[in-house]
Amino acid sequence: MQIALNILSLTSFYMCFALGLALVFGVMRVINFAHGEFYMLGAYSAFLCVSLIGPTTGALTAYIMSFAAAAIVTGLLGVLLYLVVVRKLMDKPLTIFIATLALSYMLQVVVVELFGPVGRSLPSPIPGIVRIGDAILPWSRVFVIVAISTLSVGLWFLLMRSDVGRRVRAVAQNPTGAVLQGVSVTRVGMMTLVAGSMIAGVSGAIMAPIGGITPFMGAAALWKAFIIIIVGGIGSIWGAVAAAFLFGTIDTFMTVAGAGRYLALTNAVIMLGVLSVMPSGLFGEKE
Amino acid sequence: MQLFAKLDSPRTVVLDLVTVLVVIAGVSVLAAVGSSYLQGALVIFSINAVLVISYRTITTMGGWSFAHVAIMGVGGYAVAVLSKPPMDIPVAVTFALGGLAAGLVSALLAYPVLRTRQYYFFLSTFAAGEALRQCFIQFRQLTGGTSGIAFIEYPAFVQTGDTLQFLALVLAVFFLLGLFYLMFDASETGMKIRAVGLDETLSQSLGMNPWRLRALSFVLGSVGAGVAGGLLVSYNGIVAPADFSPELMFKIVAACIVGGTRRLYGPILGLTFLTIVEEAFRGVPEYVPLVWGGLVLAATLYVPNGLEGLVDRLRASLVRRRRHA
């Protein structure tokens, strides 16, 4: 039972990180390397929000409000990123990758200068633990699982059940066809990038009390997200969810078995193995 | 054949050779007149120069690997492990073994990684490189974990502590590898590899084996990286995972973006430029990534083919002016 809960917790963590990346890539074929830094900025927004308005409103309210703050900050950055970089370089995937890589270093330096290189920690706004049978789980983790599940289900509804979502899917499947049907590819592209950035920011804010906050937290988590979206099939959001669950399970079992130090190696071998057999990932479409 | 017509004339090989010689001459002159600090910086610059020319060989096949620095780390760790007891192999020999080890690891990586293209390739090499780096940290018995392995010596024929002699060794390696890479680039195989980089389907239909050619350039480029890693480790006297950071990878890629990769002088020019910037901000090293990031961002937005592209444009405008006169 404890193991099942841990798997759930780890999966939701991997999912929140990979989701925005998979969305942006799936629709626009753009890899945002600064995604990790958006995540980190989300966490710092949460930190600022809780320490500034927390004393007056109470920690929990401030924590919830910080999601909005994180979404605004990263959403604005997403708009900027689209207007300055992505729009100009739309047909050059490598250049976008490098440009966002450059951006990610710049953001890291800015945050180090503003907040210092040493990490901050955010006391959990929801203290205490919950017992389910003989398993225990901190409430804060329960909250993370619920929040991220809500985020994912919300995204699913937006994509599958709304008019906007239909347009987004149309662009992802066939940009030319979408244009012929009167869908503005640029508008959809900008919207997706902003949505992906906001997901990164909100995830950062949600995770802030659990993981600790450092200027380098985004970069540290990014390679895992890359492995997840490669194995899941780049661009397939549901593939990313499945791969997050796969790695959540594998990593939990390995940690339980005391082999936590071989995680990176195992993950990489799994990725390389999947690539050898299915170059476009488990659920990816052939290109 | 039309595809080959897009590639360059043999004249450019001379240009590449000149580039290699100019770098060696420039570094030697600076080292002769400079302070000991400058000499140290020149050693690092020359090692990075080996790294960028080996990296350029990989990019000719059309894929930008992000595992290059991690593979360089394989070479570095090979030198560290093999030159210490119980192996006790002479350091000079381990440089070659380090190159071989890097080539071997890259050959193992090549099969899965080269099945991917474009974004998939960046992502999978990035993830593979990062996983390799995690291995350096996690396999403590072999690699010493985060603190690494210390007390690695200079090769026997270089006097310990003599930076100038070590610099001469690095330059010799740079010359040999540079010669090798430019000859490879100009050979029929190199030409085929560039053809594959330009248009894979067309090359295949002309009877080339794209997979084998791409794997070849990936492995050969990685061998150079492994040798560079060995040199760096021997010069520093210590190897640690932090030496093979994503920042160094960024520097190498940035050098190729800022400089361009069509000719050998492009990445070297880019590297020189970035190194000068880095040294100019020596007092505030924490700002260096910010400045590099800004430069790369500006280069990608405003100078699409890098400094090489600028040179080409300049030359074109000169030619035009001469014609009008």
Tell me the per-residue pLDDT of B40-68, one tens digit each, with 9 for 90 and over.
999 999 999 999 999 999 988 888 888 99
Of B244, B263, B278, the residue that ends a domain is B244
- Mean pLDDT value of segment A275-284: 80
B233 lies in the same domain as B269? no
B132 touches chain A (CB under 8 A): yes
Fill in the DSSP letter of residue A131: E
The ipTM of this complex is 0.78
Position B176 scores a pLDDT of 94
B240 lies in the same domain as B311? no
- Mean pLDDT value of segment A124-132: 79
Q: Which of A85, A108, A271 sits opposite B127 (nearest CB)?
A: A271
Position A250 scores a pLDDT of 92
Q: How does pLDDT run across A191-200, given as a tens digit for each residue?
A: 989 999 999 9
SS3 content of chain B, % helix, strand, coil (to 5): 80, 0, 20
- pLDDT band at residue A216, thresholds of 50, 70 and 90? confident
Chain B: residue nearest A276 by CA?
A: B112
A75, pLDDT greater than 60: yes
Distances (CA, A) of A248 to A40, A53, A203, A240: 21, 35, 17, 12
d(CA A252, CA A263): 10
B138 lies in the same domain as B218? yes
Position B261 scores a pLDDT of 83
B211 lies in the same domain as B284? no
Q: Which residues of A touch B (CB under 8 A)?
A: 25, 29, 31, 84-85, 88-89, 93-95, 97-99, 101-106, 108-110, 112-113, 219, 223, 226-227, 229-230, 234, 261-265, 267-268, 271-273, 275-276, 279-280
B147 lies in the same domain as B161? yes
3-state secondary structure of A167: helix
CA B230 from chain centre, in angstroms, equals 13
Position A145 scores a pLDDT of 87
- pLDDT band at residue B10, thresholds of 50, 70 and 90? low
Whether cis (ω within 30° of 0) applies to the bond prior to B155 is: no
B159 lies in the same domain as B187? yes
Position B73 scores a pLDDT of 94
Position B8 scores a pLDDT of 56
Fill in the DSSP letter of residue A10: H
> Of all residues in chain B, what percent carry a pLDDT higher than 70?
96
Fill in the DSSP letter of residue B261: S
B169, pLDDT greater than 90: yes
- Mean pLDDT value of segment B16-32: 89
E-assigned strand segments in B200-250: none
Tokens for A223, please give them: 């390679």
B203 lies in the same domain as B324? no
B299 lies in the same domain as B228? no
B117, pLDDT greater than 80: no
Of B221, B244, B267, the residue that ends a domain is B244
Q: Do B263 and B16 contact (CB within 8 A), yes or no?
A: yes
- pLDDT band at residue B9, thresholds of 50, 70 and 90? low
Ranked by mean pLDDT, the top range of B7-21, B216-230, B242-256 is B216-230
Mean pLDDT of chain A: 85
Helix (H) or strand (E) holding A135: strand A135-138
B236 lies in the same domain as B256? no
Q: Do A270 and A224 contact (CB within 8 A), yes or no?
A: no
d(CA A254, CA A256): 5
Of B205, B228, B244, the residue that ends a domain is B244
- Mean pLDDT value of segment B275-294: 86
Q: Do B29 and B167 contact (CB within 8 A), yes or no?
A: no
Q: Which of A31, A219, A279 sits opposite B123 (nearest CB)?
A: A31
A190, pLDDT greater than 70: yes
Neighbours of A33 (CB within 10 A): 24
Mutant choice from B124, B139, B303 vs A, greatest count of A C-beta within 10 A: B124
Q: Which of B111, B122, B293 sits opposite A103 (nearest CB)?
A: B293
The domains of chain A are located at 2-215
- Mean pLDDT value of segment A222-230: 85
B240 lies in the same domain as B271? no
- pLDDT band at residue B69, thresholds of 50, 70 and 90? very high
Domain span including residue B122: 2-244
B173, pLDDT greater than 90: yes
Q: Which of A103, A109, A275 sits opposite B112 (nearest CB)?
A: A275
- Mean pLDDT value of segment A136-163: 86
- pLDDT band at residue B1, thresholds of 50, 70 and 90? very low
B251 lies in the same domain as B172? no
d(CA A131, CA A90): 50
B139 lies in the same domain as B202? yes
pTM for the full model? 0.85
d(CA A78, CA A186): 14
- Mean pLDDT value of segment B79-107: 90
Taking CB atoms and an 8 Å cutoff, what residues of chain B touch A101?
250, 253, 296
How many folded domains does chain B comprise?
2
Least trusted range by pLDDT, from A18-32, A71-85, B43-57, B168-182: A18-32
Position B156 scores a pLDDT of 82
d(CA A203, CA A18): 10
- pLDDT band at residue A285, thresholds of 50, 70 and 90? low
Using CB atoms and an 8 Å cut-off, which of residues 67-106 of chain B contact chain A? none
- Mean pLDDT value of segment A221-238: 82
